[in-house]
């Protein structure tokens, strides 16, 4: 009997592109660059402390306007990513250590915790790049100083480092997470204007370029452009850096495998397994991740 396959519709294809399913949970709690887990756990905790300190430092300086600025929204997501990831990594590392001692403390982190962390990661990384780009390249006046660098410069440096060092994957379809985040903020700006809210200086807007009273068309164009052009481009940069990580990681593992071949005979004798070409090919091609 002859059967024909039904082509996948665009809805199903988009659903798969936006899926939060991933075959290996260790990508979210370990670094693919090293089999030793404790350095990555320390890295996660240090980053969480740094971002949390910067976030708390920014609150009193912005006084009652803190919640109105997009930078603070984005940096809150950035801090939440590192704190959430640190908590998941520490708990998984502790459980793994106890399990090795024979104390069954539990299995891997809950899938929902990893999925939530992945969504936060998508929002945090994309917005870090967008906030930095729009701040330093903006034609409008900006403030130059140490506090500005912490939230508009150091954030992107930490984002690049985290994308390269961690094992978290990136998918183009996940741009919906960060666009939704920005849409919520834009809705907040509209409500701020409709409710006639005012900052400490008495102005009926958060940003002068987004004043719906005097320049409504300009405000709409800038917000829409940031939301649907600049932010997706920033997410594309995250995905590009992810692909660069895979290439660098593949080269790193291949060089590591080649060093195994170059061992002296007495070094090979003390290895627990026999070194052969099949093993070399397996090591050089394994990255613990998939290109999506």
Contacts of range 226-233, beta carbons closer than 8 Å, 24 or more positions apart? 226/130, 226/134, 226/182, 227/179, 227/182, 227/183, 227/186, 228/179, 230/130, 230/133, 230/134, 231/126, 231/127, 231/130, 231/175, 231/178, 231/179, 231/182, 232/175, 232/179
Buried b or exposed e, range 137-146, using 16+ CB within 10 angstroms: eeeeeeeeee
What is the Cα–Cα distance from 288 to 45, expressed in whole angstroms? Answer: 23
- The pLDDT score that the predictor gives to residue 201 is 75
Q: What is the structure's pLDDT at 254? A: 85
* pLDDT at residue number 274: 47
Q: How far apart are CA 177 and CA 221, in angstroms?
A: 21
State how far the Cα of 210 lies from the Cα of 218, in Å rounded to an integer: 7
Per the listing, tokens 């060093």 go with 259
Q: What is the pLDDT of residue 200?
A: 64
Q: What is the pTM of this model?
A: 0.84
Mean pLDDT for each consecutive 10-residue tract of the chain (292 residues)?
Answer: 48 75 89 92 97 92 81 97 96 78 61 94 98 87 81 96 96 96 96 86 85 94 95 97 96 80 59 46 43 36
Hey, how many other C-beta atoms are within 10 angstroms of the C-beta on 133?
17
Quote the pLDDT of residue 290. Answer: 41
Spell out the domain ranges in the chain.
21-250
Q: By CB neighbour count within 10 A (0-12 exposed, 13-18 middle, 19+ buried), where does 62 fall? A: middle
Q: Which pLDDT does position 35 carry in this prediction?
A: 87
Tokens found for residue 33:
């660059």
């Amino acid at each position: 009997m002859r059967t024909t396959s039904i082509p996948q519709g665009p809805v199903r294809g988009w659903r798969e592109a936006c899926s939060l399913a991933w075959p290996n949970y260790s990508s979210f709690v370990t670094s693919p660059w090293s089999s030793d887990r404790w350095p990555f756990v320390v890295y996660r905790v240090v980053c969480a402390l740094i971002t949390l300190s910067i976030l708390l430092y920014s609150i009193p300086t912005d006084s009652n306007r803190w919640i109105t600025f997009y930078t603070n929204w984005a940096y809150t997501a950035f801090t939440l990513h590192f704190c959430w990831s640190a908590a998941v990594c520490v708990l998984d590392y502790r459980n793994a250590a106890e399990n090795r001692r024979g104390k069954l403390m539990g299995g891997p982190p809950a899938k929902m915790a990893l999925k939530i962390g992945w969504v936060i990661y998508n929002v945090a990384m994309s917005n870090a790049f967008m906030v930095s780009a729009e701040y330093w390249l903006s034609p409008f006046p900006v403030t130059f100083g140490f506090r500005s660098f912490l939230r508009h410069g150091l954030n992107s440096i930490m984002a690049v480092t985290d994308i390269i060092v961690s094992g978290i994957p990136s998918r183009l379809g996940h741009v919906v997470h960060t666009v939704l985040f920005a849409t919520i903020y834009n809705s907040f700006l509209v409500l701020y204007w409709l409710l006639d809210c005012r900052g400490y200086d008495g102005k009926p807007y958060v940003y002068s370029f987004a004043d719906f009273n005097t320049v409504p068309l300009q405000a709409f164009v800038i917000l829409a452009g940031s939301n649907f052009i600049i932010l997706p481009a920033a997410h594309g940069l995250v995905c590009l850096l992810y692909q660069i990580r895979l290439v660098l990681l593949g080269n790193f593992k291949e060089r590591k495998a080649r060093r195994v071949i170059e061992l002296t005979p007495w070094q090979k004798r003390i290895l627990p397994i026999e070194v052969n070409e099949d093993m070399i090919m397996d090591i050089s091609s394994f990255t613990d991740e998939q290109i999506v």
